[in-house]
């Protein structure tokens, strides 16, 4: 996962991009960056390790001044955890001025395409990041095949396999494009109202991974970028769809369960609404349980809050907030290694004992990956006096890795791939454990067939081995 943003033809566009990135910080906390095109046509980039507020500071922003800017927050799924792999990438072109690009997702045939560009066409890479590969592939079609930029993007889009939502600055234009399956979210907003014909002019268009970013800059959601769509923004001209190379839709269901902010609208769904419906569906499974006034519903905050509210509504059991979260600790799942994740859990959650003494707790979490975090939380609740702990999970059992931009560990580390429900329940020291089932999403979503559930049912659109490599990165 990562987050991208772009702003077209707005004075001081760098400030808008910084605000957009701040709103989608939850999509990646490891590094961030911006690239700005000034009125002379030069592109300048700045990136660094850390949060937006610490990297893209006011003093950094004051060094830029341009009407077109893009930005990125990174959460590493492939490629090393270092500054070289942060985005955006500014790709030098002999003709100058250069192009700048950033993307969200994972390219499955990364290794094959990079090797091909390096060996056949002597391209030099500065990072092992997908965004750079996409940029250099487009540069290949511009330089070696003499394609116009629109066709260069379309050719690259056809060749790339996997998930990508990308934004690119080239000359005085900006392009947004997305993989044909629409794995990762991508939305178009505007700072200006449409004209009398209902069309949006490129000036004032903002692009972002999530619609929750638009409010802070005063933009309104125009629509979602279509899977496989390429859009072009040009000064004074309408927002234009260049082409649409759509495949079977494969929106990531985990975006709705966990990653996206509850105030985002994505894949045609309101995230908070979907989460509440998941909770109500989970409550259906407990219709035969004897629930009394000693029961209480609690969420593992914050991503499970709305699922817990839905469960409370569906079951008639009171929702309470006895497990408090320290908001100055980031999302543990987006920390790059297990040690950092373990430290994060200890610092992150604190139970209020008076909420738990003698209670039958229905603890709602969004998912179980390794099970280590949840096990520690159950121990906290038991130590705080909980009589029973019933775990309800907002996702199905995670039994496979993700190859499309989410850093799920290998199958060996996924507890649901290794143990039965009863064994997991015992490992967690819970009284009962129930999951949302894949089939439930047919009742919850408007178009459930448009989603990817591969980490739950192993029905992958494609895997790295389809491209003859064990890893999609060079050793
Ligand atoms: S495999 Fe899972 S996490 Fe990855 S895109 Fe599909 S649903 Fe999302």
Instruction: Give the chain's length.
Output: 475
Q: Which of 72-86, 242-256, 259-273 has the lowest mean pLDDT?
A: 72-86
Share of the chain above pLDDT 90, in %: 83
Mean pLDDT of the chain: 92
Q: Give the DSSP H or E segment for 189.
A: strand 187-190
Tokens of 422: 């009863």
Q: Give the DSSP H or E segment for 351.
A: strand 349-351
Closest CA to 362 of 258, 418, 283, 439: 283
Tokens of 455: 């980490």
* Res 227: pLDDT: 98
* Res 82: pLDDT: 76
* Res 338: pLDDT: 55
The mean pLDDT of 435-453, rounded to a whole number, is: 97
| Residue 329 predicted with pLDDT over 70 | no
CATH of 2-247, one of 3.20.20.70, 3.60.20.10, 3.90.1150.10, 1.10.3720.10: 3.60.20.10
Q: Which of 209-218, 222-231, 266-275, 404-413 has the lowest mean pLDDT?
A: 404-413
Ligand 1 within 6 A of 253 CB?
Answer: yes
Ligand 1 within 6 A of 177 CB?
Answer: no
* Res 134: pLDDT: 97
User: What does the DSSP assignment read for 269-297?
Assistant: EEHHHHHHHHHHHHHHTTTTS---TTEEE
Q: Which of 18-22, 95-99, 139-143 has the lowest mean pLDDT?
A: 95-99
| Residue 464 predicted with pLDDT over 80 | no
Ligand 1 within 6 A of 256 CB?
Answer: no
Residue 47 pairs in a beta bridge with: 33
* Residue 473 banded pLDDT, cuts 50, 70, 90: low
| Residue 176 predicted with pLDDT over 80 | yes
CA dist 208 and 222 (Å) reads 11
Measure 394 CA to ligand 1 centroid, in angstroms.
Answer: 15
* Res 330: pLDDT: 56
* Residue 398 banded pLDDT, cuts 50, 70, 90: very high
Measure 293 CA to ligand 1 centroid, in angstroms.
Answer: 38
Closest CA to 406 of 441, 433, 369: 369
Ligand 1 within 6 A of 454 CB?
Answer: yes
| Residue 354 predicted with pLDDT over 80 | yes
For ligand 1, mutation pick of 250, 410, 452 (most atoms within 8 Å of CB): 452
CATH of 272-445, one of 3.40.50.2020, 3.20.20.70, 3.90.1200.10, 3.40.50.1820: 3.40.50.2020
User: What does the DSSP assignment read for 129-168?
Assistant: -HHHHHHHHHHHHHHTS---HHHHHHHHHHH--EEEEEEE
CA dist 385 and 396 (Å) reads 29
* Res 408: pLDDT: 84
* Residue 112 banded pLDDT, cuts 50, 70, 90: very high
The mean pLDDT of 21-50, rounded to a whole number, is: 95
* Residue 1 banded pLDDT, cuts 50, 70, 90: confident
Ligand 1 within 6 A of 333 CB?
Answer: no
* Res 340: pLDDT: 59
| Residue 16 predicted with pLDDT over 70 | yes
Domain residue ranges of the chain, discontinuous segments joined by +: 2-247, 272-445
CA dist 452 and 250 (Å) reads 5
Place of tokens 């409370």: 312
* Res 178: pLDDT: 98
| Residue 375 predicted with pLDDT over 70 | yes
Classify strands 432-435 and 388-393 as parallel, antiparallel or unpaired: parallel
Work out which ligand 1 atom sits closest to the CA atom of 400. Answer: 1
Buried b (16+ CB within 10 A) or exposed e, 230-256: bbbbbeeeebeebbebeeebbbbbbbb
Query: Full-prediction pTM beyond 0.95?
Result: no
DSSP-based helix, strand, coil % in the chain, nearest 5: 35, 25, 40
* Res 61: pLDDT: 96
* Res 337: pLDDT: 59
* Res 409: pLDDT: 87
Active-site hit among 2, 402, 425, 455: 2
Segment 218-240, tens digit of pLDDT: 999 999 999 999 999 999 999 99
Tokens of 187: 């939305």
* Residue 434 banded pLDDT, cuts 50, 70, 90: very high
Measure 231 CA to ligand 1 centroid, in angstroms.
Answer: 25
Q: Is 2 part of the annotated catalytic residue set?
A: yes
Work out which ligand 1 atom sits closest to the CA atom of 408. Answer: 3
Measure 410 CA to ligand 1 centroid, in angstroms.
Answer: 13
Task: Name every residue whose Cβ is closer than 8 Å to that of residue 7 and which is 6 or more positions away in sequence.
Answer: 13, 16, 17, 20, 68, 69, 70, 205, 206, 207, 217
* Res 79: pLDDT: 67
Measure 467 CA to ligand 1 centroid, in angstroms.
Answer: 19
Segment 40-91, tens digit of pLDDT: 999 999 999 999 999 999 999 999 999 999 999 998 777 677 788 899 999 9
């Amino acid at each position: 996962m990562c987050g991208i943003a772009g702003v077209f033809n707005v004075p001081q566009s760098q400030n808008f991009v910084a605000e957009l990135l701040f709103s989608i910080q939850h999509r990646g906390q490891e590094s961030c960056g911006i690239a700005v095109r000034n009125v002379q046509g030069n592109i300048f980039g700045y990136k660094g390790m850390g949060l937006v507020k610490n990297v893209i500071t006011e003093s950094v922003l004051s060094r830029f001044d341009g009407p077109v800017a893009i930005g990125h927050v990174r959460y590493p799924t492939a490629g090393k955890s270092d500054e070289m792999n942060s985005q955006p990438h500014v790709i030098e072109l002999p003709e100058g001025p250069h192009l700048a690009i950033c993307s969200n997702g994972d390219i499955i045939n990364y290794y094959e395409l990079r090797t091909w560009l390096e060996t056949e066409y002597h391209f030099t890479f500065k990072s092992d990041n997908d965004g750079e590969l996409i940029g250099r592939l487009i540069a290949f079609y511009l330089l070696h095949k003499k394609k116009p930029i629109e066709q260069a993007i379309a050719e690259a889009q056809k060749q790339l396999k996997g998930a990508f939502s990308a934004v690119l600055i080239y000359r005085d234009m900006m392009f947004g494009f997305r993989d044909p399956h629409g794995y990762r979210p991508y939305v178009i907003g505007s700072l200006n109202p449409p004209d009398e014909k209902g069309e949006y002019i490129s000036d004032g268009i903002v692009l972002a991974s999530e619609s929750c970013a638009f409010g802070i800059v005063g933009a309104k959601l125009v629509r979602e970028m279509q899977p496989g769509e390429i859009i072009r923004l040009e000064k004074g001209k309408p927002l234009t769809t260049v082409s649409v190379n759509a495949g079977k839709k494969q929106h990531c269901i985990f975006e709705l369960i966990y990653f996206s902010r509850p105030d985002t609208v994505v894949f045609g769904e309101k995230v908070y609404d979907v989460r509440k419906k998941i909770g109500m569906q989970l409550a259906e499974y407990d219709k035969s349980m004897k629930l009394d006034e000693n029961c209480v519903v609690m969420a593992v905050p914050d991503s499970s809050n709305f699922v817990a509210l839905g469960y409370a509504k569906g079951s008639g059991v009171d929702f309470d907030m006895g497990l408090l979260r320290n908001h100055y600790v980031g999302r543990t799942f987006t920390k790059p290694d297990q040690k950092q994740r373990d430290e994060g859990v200890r610092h992150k959650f604190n139970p209020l004992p008076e909420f738990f003494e003698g209670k039958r707790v229905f603890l709602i979490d969004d998912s179980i990956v390794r099970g280590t975090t949840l096990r520690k939380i159950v121990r906290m609740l038991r130590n705080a006096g909980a009589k029973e702990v019933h775990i309800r999970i907002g996702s199905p059992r995670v039994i496979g890795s993700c190859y499309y931009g989410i850093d799920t560990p290998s199958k060996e580390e996924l507890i649901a791939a290794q143990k039965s429900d009863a064994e997991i329940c015992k490992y967690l020291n819970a009284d009962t454990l129930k999951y949302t089932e894949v089939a439930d999403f047919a009742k919850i979503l408007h178009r459930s067939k448009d989603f990817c559930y591969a980490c739950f049912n192993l029905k992958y659109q494609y895997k790295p081995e389809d491209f003859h490599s064990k890893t999609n990165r060079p050793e």
